[in-house]
Amino acid sequence: MSRKSNHTGLKIVLILLMLVLIAATAFVIKLSLDLAHQPVETRPQTSVTQPVPQTTEAAPEPPAPTETTLPEPEKVIATATISAQGDLLMHKPIFDSRSIVAKSDGSYDFSSIFKYFAETVQSYDYAVANLETTFGGDDFPYQGNPAFNCPDPFLTSVVDAGYDMLLTANNHSYDTRMPGIARTLETVRAAGLGTIGTRLTEEEPRYAIAEVNGIRIGMICYTYSSGLSDDGRPRLNGAGAMENPELANWFHNSNPEKLYTEVEQILAQMEEEGIDASMLFIHWGNEYELTENAHQNRQAQALCDLGIDVIVGGHPHVVQPVELLTATDDPDHQTICVYSLGNAVSNQRHGNIPACPTPHTEDGILFEITFEKYSDGEVYIQWADILPTWVNLHRDNGGNEYNMIPLDMEEKDQWQEKFGFNDEALRKAGASWDRTMDIVGDGLTAIQDHLTQEKADREQYYLDLVNQG
């Protein structure tokens, strides 16, 4: 085979390939031109989409937040502070002293007894004291022990000093017999003072309700009986059996159930009348003993269990301890108990009472108790305190003078000038304060600590009610 034939075939193949390549290129160019002239709608879509803007109305402004004002917690809307003092024990040497029988006609003026004390009494909302005498009038001798009967002008000075109520149930209530009980009540009431413990008729209530600054305090007063007659009538102060015993509130230690039953009934009656708190004044215990006896302990606990809020005792003529009691079946109920207030004024002096060789009969306490009412109507004991007192017997203008002295330790540096003390009187006043606080100090601290904690808990409770609401 010659070389020329091979070259001719290769050329033919190359020419055919070039023609195919030219035709393919022309086809591609034509296709591109056709696509460029197609309408937009026929163009293929890509997989990426763009958001289409939409026209919407403007969203409204959100409302402004409303301010929430919490209600105020319950608050105190009223307070009432009651003071209580012990025995106004009118011995004959007192109203025979030159400072009392001051006028040439023999008339009486007892104001010297209270001249340093009236301002203190008047500082309280309501003041109570035990009347340890009777106003039996001229039908009976004016005397002290054993059958007390005091001239009426003493009552004028009691009123002027600022007292509001006198306790008339004690072991000397019957010293001028039934006429004396009646005349004492009539005289005291005519002077504008309240009475409690004895009554003129059986129809009168055995209690009193003192409304002080809108707070209603139910008050009860009882005395022990020194003995019983064969027919069960009480003997007071060893005298004959009482003619009309139903006109006095009394009990005998041999039958304390009489006391408890009557107090329970009285409490129910007072609660029906809407009292907010209760106080019971009681004549009990042993004279000249510096601590309470077993009868007092048992009776105080039983009265606490009945629901009495405050117990104020007297009769021993000396100060006795104070105590916070808790009800046996109700740990939420406490009772403040003062076992004995001691003497407010008397002639019982150091050295003239064989049964009491110490000066404790010269001492007394003014007990104060404060109730507070909240805006929800609830009433609580807010505070309790004690002001020691002392009777200063001294010579004045050639005669004796008896002054009740308030021993406020915060003013001790003023005592000498304020009360006209000599150095010996100042020493005795300080010793009196010490004696009294030795007896009541621990119990008073316990009571005040308890009341302070209760107040804090109460305020927190009221605050929590608001926050939880």
Q: Cα 287 to chain center, whole Å?
A: 29
> What does the pLDDT read at residue 6?
44
Alpha helices in 162-206 (DSSP H): 177-190
> What does the pLDDT read at residue 237?
87
Q: DSSP labels for 300-351?
A: HHHHHHHT-SEEEEE-SSSEEEEEEEE-SS-TT-EEEEEEEEBEEE-S--TT
Interacting residues of 111 by C-beta distance below 8 A, sequence separation 6+? 157, 160
> What does the pLDDT read at residue 26?
55
> What does the pLDDT read at residue 1?
37
> What does the pLDDT read at residue 78?
98
Preceding peptide of 354 cis, ω within 30°: no
Q: What is the mean pLDDT of each run of 10 residues along the chain (469 residues)?
A: 42 53 54 46 37 50 61 94 98 92 84 98 98 97 95 97 98 96 98 98 98 98 96 88 97 97 98 98 98 98 98 98 98 98 98 95 98 97 98 91 98 97 98 98 98 97 89
Q: Name residue 371's beta-bridge partners.
A: 80, 381
> What does the pLDDT read at residue 98?
86
Q: Which fold has domain 76-468?
A: Purple Acid Phosphatase; chain A, domain 2 (3.60.21)
Among the listed residues 228, 298, 289, 306, the one whose alpha carbon sits nearest the alpha carbon of residue 256? 298
> What does the pLDDT read at residue 239?
72
**Residue 352 class from Cβ within 10 Å (0-12 exposed, 13-18 middle, 19+ buried)?**
exposed
> What does the pLDDT read at residue 25?
54
> What does the pLDDT read at residue 24?
55
Interacting residues of 149 by C-beta distance below 8 A, sequence separation 6+? 133, 134, 135, 136, 137, 140, 141, 142, 143, 175, 176, 180
Among the listed residues 374, 411, 388, 378, the one whose alpha carbon sits nearest the alpha carbon of residue 338? 388
> What does the pLDDT read at residue 64?
60
